[in-house]
Amino acid sequence: MGAVYRKEMRGCFTNMTGAIAVAASLLIAGLMFRYYNLYYGVLTLHYAVSNCALIFYIVVPILSMRVFAEERRQRTDQLLFTSPESVFSIVMGKYLALVSILAIPTAVMCFFPLIMRAFGAETLGWDYACILAWFLMGAAYLAVGMFISSCTESAVIAAILSILFVFLTQMLSGVFTILSTSAVTALLFLIVLGGLAGLLMYFMTKHVLISAGLGGGIAAASVIGYLVRPDWFSGRTESILRVLDFSTHFSDFAGGSLSIGNLLFFVSYIVIGIGLTVQSIEKRRWS
């Protein structure tokens, strides 16, 4: 794991992706801090850090798009597969390198509350909770972006899909009020999620029958459930989509609601992203 970590860190700064990611993060974070806290005199970092979510539209695709896709395109991934390191160690080494790069602007942001304290702010705990929430959300995005990169050999496609994922999870909370709460709408969303699960399984296994069985099974179970208990589906649309709502969980966490649920939400995405990446690489290793 250590050798993979060092190789990935060197690669990120040799081809300038790491430097660009850090520079873009610090630029946006600095602008938000100056605008909200120094210019308007807001005595908490909540608004500045919340708007720093813009950073993930740049950092996540820049860092994650090449982590596996580029090696797959250049066929250098075969060197990793023949190494004595386990697939889990390889994936963790690469992931920890990405998180380490994200930790650099996070460490700089940790000085912002101390600067605000010099102006009389007394919200150190809240401010550091905001920074922690921002870091965990970024770590979750990187885990998903790494998995996306492992599914394709095109860094461009990996970057586009990562941006779309960030956009979806950030904008989702704004569409809840316009969504229908009918049982049929919830059923349709479950069927769509079943299709996406089947597509994900196909990317991982390249097995049509297994993928179709998973997607069809979820869809069939949803239809049967709707026929048996249609009242259960009423008003469930928002509950179903909450599993992709990063923005609301981040706002709750950064707003002072340090609940285990909000913490586990991001940790779960990290674990799932790493796990899916391991399975994706294992499939390619033995195919």
* Domain edges within the chain: 2-173+244-286, 182-234
Contact status, residue 216 vs residue 198, Cβ threshold 8 Å: yes
Taking the chain (287 residues) in consecutive chunks of 10 residues, what is each chunk's mean pLDDT? Answer: 82 83 92 87 84 90 82 67 78 92 94 84 81 93 91 84 89 65 76 80 72 84 84 71 80 71 89 89 69
Q: What does pTM read for this prediction?
A: 0.86
pLDDT value for 29:
92
If DSSP states are collapsed to H, E and C, what string results for 270-285?
HHHHHHHHHHHHHHHH
The DSSP element (H or E) to which 47 belongs, if any, is: helix 46-51
Query: Rounded CA gap, 212 and 130, in Å?
Result: 42
